[in-house]
Structure 1
């Protein structure tokens, strides 16, 4: 099934060129099914590129999915036109009385700042708190994952001595999890960050389950046992050239930057990188959306009650693990 995204969104043209079917809103409204409703809080400065990357992954599900876009009001975006923001984005206040099947909170290039120094931190905390009761499952990406783990569990981040930058092998920790169903025991994930979560503190939270981890990149896929929260510390949404674009951007600015690891053939930035994470990225998003579809109630007004039911069931599971 196709995704239903707003008419005129730049991502729609790109997805059509890639033979991905995107419904016009008028046509989608005539189909006699209830689509999954997602809201994407896009904190990245490159909003159009990030929209396209995430929608590309969502589109690989056989389900019809309708997407709304949220932005923070306490930060002024300078890398995208105000016309684009006004046309396709709303601030949190427009959504706080609604319920959603799923939510995605992206990363942001602020991992070197203390959380409280980020100008929209208080607003982000309000949004995360709202999602706990109004969104069946929220997926946090990169810095968004670090921020969610700090706000909800007080798991601190630690600054890395050098930027973790490249494509890193990950080890599957739970082959029987719904989210990693079909994953190879070894798989790749792109990372681009200056900070990591404190794995020692993470181990003190049995309600959080590590599904995949890197030998040098640390825990990469973490979830609560009811999948109400899913944390991805890397960038499965990245396209083939995203790390290369980041490298050349900093290189041309004269900034200290290393060639991304395990990315360019023979570490030669003039050569086209090999896309080694696409299949698992598609699989993760497909599994996630499938789980949401299986668990979400038909009436979105019932989502808060369903969240409480799933949480109660998962709390019982945690008690068994601790025993």
Structure 2
């Protein structure tokens, strides 16, 4: 079954061009199925790119998913057309009285700032507190994961000496976890960040499980014991050219940036990158949606 999104959302054309089944609102209304209600809090400045990447991963499942896009009201993106935001995005005040089967909180390019220096930090804290009682399972990505670990568990992010940038090998520490069902023993995932969390800090919290790490990139996946919150440090949803665009952007800005590791053949930026993470990224989103949302969420969404 497909994702259910507004007919005119730009992602629809992109996804249909990739032969992904996208259901129109009209067709969805005529199916006697309760869709999963998934809220995406998109904190990235390039909102259309990010929403398309995530929708692509959510679409490849046998479930019908009603997706809603959320933006902060305390900070409005300057990189996304206002008409797009007003047409397709809602704000917290409009959804706070509702309940959702799943929620995704994206990353944001604010890692070098202290949490309380981020303009929308108080609003994000309010949303994360609300998610405890109004969302069945929440998936935090990259900076969103670091923010969630700090807010919910008091775990500090740590600055890296240099940007962690590239595609890294990761190892599953808990092969029995349904989140990694179908994964190879070693899988790859893109990372692009200036900060990290330490494994020892995760292991010191009895309510948390460390379930995947990388020798080079450190902590990758953490979950709560009750499977209500997941924290993913990388970007398994990235497109093939996302790191290339970030690299060229940083070069144009004159930043001291290395070529993304394990990405371009022979580290040659003039050559097309090698995609090593697509299947693992798809499995991660599909498994979270299936085993931790669909399989366990109550049929009556009001019971969440």
Give the shorter-chain TM-score range: over 0.9
What SS does the corresponding residue of 1:28 show, helix, strand or coil?
A: helix
Q: State the distance in 1 between where 2:199 and 2:17 align.
A: 41
Stretch deviating more after TM superposition (247-256 or 30-39): 247-256
1:61 touches 1:285 (CA, 8 Å); kept in 2? Answer: no
Which residue matches 1:174?
A: 174
Q: State the distance in 2 between where 1:76 and 1:96 align.
A: 19
Instruction: Please give the per-residue CA displacement for 1:13-38, whole angstroms capped at 9, x wherever unaligned.
Output: 00000000101111111111111110
1:157-196 alignment runs, 5 A limit: 157-196=157-196
Which residue matches 2:121?
A: 121
Which residue matches 1:321?
A: none
1:105 touches 1:140 (CA, 8 Å); kept in 2? Answer: yes
Residue 225 (structure 1) shift: 2.2
Which residue matches 2:223?
A: 223
Which residue matches 1:248?
A: 248
Q: State the distance in 2 between where 1:76 and 1:52 align.
A: 19
Residue 227 (structure 1) shift: 1.4
Residue 201 (structure 1) shift: 1.5
Instruction: Please give the per-residue CA displacement for 1:196-224, whole angstroms capped at 9, x wherever unaligned.
Output: 01322211112211111010111101111
2:202 touches 2:210 (CA, 8 Å); kept in 1? Answer: no
Residue 76 (structure 1) shift: 2.1
2:190 touches 2:236 (CA, 8 Å); kept in 1? Answer: yes
User: Is residue 2:285 matched to residue 1:302?
Assistant: no
Count of aligned residue pairs for this structure pair: 303
Q: TM-score, normalised by structure 2?
A: 0.98
1:243-322 alignment runs, 5 A limit: 243-291=243-291, 292-303=293-304
Residue 6 (structure 1) shift: 1.2
**Which ranges of structure 2 fall in alignment gaps of 5 or more residues?**
none
Residue 234 (structure 1) shift: 0.4
Q: State the distance in 1 between where 2:68 and 2:236 align.
A: 20
Which residue matches 1:68?
A: 68
1:92-171 alignment runs, 5 A limit: 92-171=92-171
**Which ranges of structure 1 fall in alignment gaps of 5 or more residues?**
304-323
1:180 touches 1:211 (CA, 8 Å); kept in 2? Answer: no
Q: State the distance in 2 between where 1:2 and 1:20 align.
A: 8
Residue 253 (structure 1) shift: 2.2
1:232-243 alignment runs, 5 A limit: 232-243=232-243
What SS does the corresponding residue of 2:295 show, helix, strand or coil?
A: helix
Which residue matches 2:80?
A: 80
Q: State the distance in 2 between where 1:157 and 1:250 align.
A: 23
What SS does the corresponding residue of 1:223 show, helix, strand or coil?
A: strand
| Segments of 4+ moved more than 2 angstroms | none
